[in-house]
Structure formats: structure tokens, C-alpha cells
């Protein structure tokens, strides 16, 4: 019997699909939204920010700005110009809301901006 040759799937693609699936699951009850303990699941949620960024902000903004760091609830965004940085500052509250909604947990508390 001949073996069927399928194209190989990279681990990066598999992880990206899995993380997107985890990121779009519905939010848990209110008590878990503010959980203090950081678990492996929380870290996966935090990583999902990087994968979901283009979907959350749209392709145009994603071309000019991207998340670079996430530490203790503060997401650092790098923009390619001061114009884009200023525009994003005006959208800050909306971005935090959209990110937390998409993650299903309130992980993002603040956003800092930098120019590349």
C-alpha cells in the first residue's frame, strides 16, 4: 500500500491555530476575569495579543504599529511614526477594551507607546 504524502505543517502554524482558538473562546465568569494568580493559560492568553493584533486593529493600523512587550498588564506598542503613535493614543481606551474582549479576560490594563 502506498503512503499518501501530505505537505508538512510547521509547529508555528499549529500553535497559531491553537492559540487563536483559545483566544476566541468565551469569557469565564466574572471572578476569573480578575484572578491574581498567573497560570500557563494566562500566559497563552497574553501571547494571543500578538496573534490577534491585526484582527483587532485592522490591516492598515497593523502595518504601522505592532505590540512588542506585555508586562504586568501594560502592553507596549511600537509605531513607525509619531503621527501613528498620536493616533493610537487617541484610541487607547478603545484598544484596551477590544483587546480584553477578544482575549476573554481583562489582562490589558494600560498601553504604552514607542516609536520604532
Q: Distance between CA 47 and CA 66 in Å, rounded? A: 13
Q: Is 27 strand, coil or helix?
A: coil
Contact, 69 vs 76, CB < 8 A?
yes
Contact, 42 vs 107, CB < 8 A?
yes
Percent of the chain whose predicted confidence (pLDDT) is above 90: 43
Residue with cell 495579543: 49
Backbone torsions φ then ψ of 35, nearest 5 degrees? -60, 140
Lowest mean pLDDT, pick from 13-17, 56-60, 76-80: 13-17
What number of other Cβ atoms are within 10 A of residue 98's Cβ? 16
Q: Return the CATH number of 38-115, one of 3.30.300.180, 3.30.465.10, 3.40.50.720, 3.30.70.20.
A: 3.30.300.180
Please tell me the predicted confidence (pLDDT) of residue 37. 58
* 69 DSSP β-pair partners: 76
For the stretch 64-100, pLDDT in tens is 999 999 988 999 999 999 999 999 999 999 999 999 9
Contact, 79 vs 64, CB < 8 A?
yes
For the stretch 25-41, pLDDT in tens is 434 444 444 445 567 76
Amino acid at each position: 500500500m502506498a503512503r499518501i504524502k501530505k505537505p508538512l505543517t510547521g509547529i508555528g502554524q499549529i500553535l497559531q491555530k491553537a492559540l487563536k482558538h483559545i483566544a476566541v473562546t468565551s469569557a469565564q465568569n466574572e471572578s476569573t476575569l480578575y484572578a491574581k494568580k498567573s497560570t500557563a493559560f494566562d500566559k497563552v492568553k497574553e501571547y494571543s495579543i500578538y496573534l490577534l493584533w491585526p484582527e483587532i486593529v485592522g490591516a492598515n493600523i497593523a502595518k504601522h504599529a505592532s505590540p512588542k512587550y506585555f508586562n504586568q498588564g501594560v502592553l507596549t506598542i511600537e509605531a513607525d511614526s509619531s503621527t501613528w503613535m498620536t493616533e493610537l493614543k487617541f484610541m487607547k481606551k478603545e484598544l484596551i477594551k477590544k483587546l480584553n474582549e477578544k482575549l476573554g479576560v481583562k489582562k490589558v490594563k494600560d498601553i504604552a507607546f514607542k516609536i520604532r
